[in-house]
Structure 1
Amino acid sequence: MTLYFDGGSRPNPDRMEIAVVSGGRTHIRDDLGPGDNCTAEWLALLYAVEIAVAAGAADAVFVGDARTIVEQALGRWRCRSPQLQPHLAAYRAATAGFARVHVRHVGRSKNLAGIALARRHPR
C-alpha cells in the first residue's frame, strides 16, 4: 500500500493541517490546533500509518516531501528536537507490526498529499 503524506502550518488562523492520499482517496484533517511545519509533517506521517493499519496493510510505502521527517523515520538522521521525539517514538511503535515499511522522499511537485493541500489554498 502506498500512502502520500504532507502537513503544514497555516498562519491565519494559527493551525496545522495534514493530508494523506492513497488509492485515489484524499484524507484531510485541519483540526489539529497550532504548531509548526515539522510537527504537522510528523502528524501527517502518523495519520498515514493509522490509515494503513485500518486498511489491514501488511506492508506500506510512505511517501513525503519533508526530507527531515523521512530521514528521521528511516533512522538515518537523529531527532534532536524534544518536541518531535514523541512523534518518532509513536511512529516506530505504530509501524512495528508491519511486515515491511518503506519511507521515500519525493519532491513537492510529486507529492499527491502536498498537491491536495495546495489546492485548498489557491494563490
Structure 2
Amino acid sequence: MEVAVVVRGTVHFEDDLGHGTNRDAEWLALIRALELAQAQGLTGAEFIGDAREITGQASQALARPDEAADRLEDGGHLSRVIALARDVRPARIRWIKREQNLAGIALAARHPR
C-alpha cells in the first residue's frame, strides 16, 4: 500500500505500507496527516478525504471518542486516529469528491494509465 498526504501544498508520499484494503489505505492516510500536522505544530487544521465512510466514521468518533472506543472493529486504525487527535485536534474532518482530492491526484499521477 501507499498513501499521499498534502499539507500546505506539499505532497508527502508514504510507500511500502504492507498489504491491505482500500479502507486501510484511507485510514493510514488520515493517520499520516495527523502525524504530519503534529510534527509541524499545526492546530485546528481541516482534514479532508474522498472516502465517505472513513471521513464519516472519523468525524463521529472524534465527536464522541469514548463511545467510539466501545465499537472499534477497524484493525486499530480508528483508535490511532483518536489517540493522535488528542494532541492535534482537527477543526473538522470532511468528505470531498475524488477529483478535488489533491492527495488522490498526486497518487494517480505516480501511476499514469
Higher percent of residues as helix: 2
Same fold (TM over 0.5): yes
- 2:85 and 2:111 map into 1 onto residues whose CA distance is 32
TM-score by length of 2: 0.85
Number of residue equivalences: 106
SS of aligned partner of 2:13 = strand
Moved over 2 A (4+): 78-82, 97-101
Gaps of 5+ in 1: 1-15
Q: Deviations over 1:5-34 (max 9, x none)?
A: xxxxxxxxxxx1100011121100111011
Match of 1:97 in 2: 87
Higher percent of residues as strand: 1
TM-score by length of 1: 0.79
Root mean square deviation, CA, Å: 1.9
> 1:118–1:93: structure 2 CA closer, same or farther, 3 Å change rule?
same
Q: Deviations over 1:34-82 (max 9, x none)?
A: 1110001000000000000000012111010000100000117x79773
Match of 2:97 in 1: 107
Gaps of 5+ in 2: 62-67
Identity of aligned residues (%): 48
Q: Deviations over 1:73-114 (max 9, x none)?
A: 0117x79773x1511011011011235531010000000000
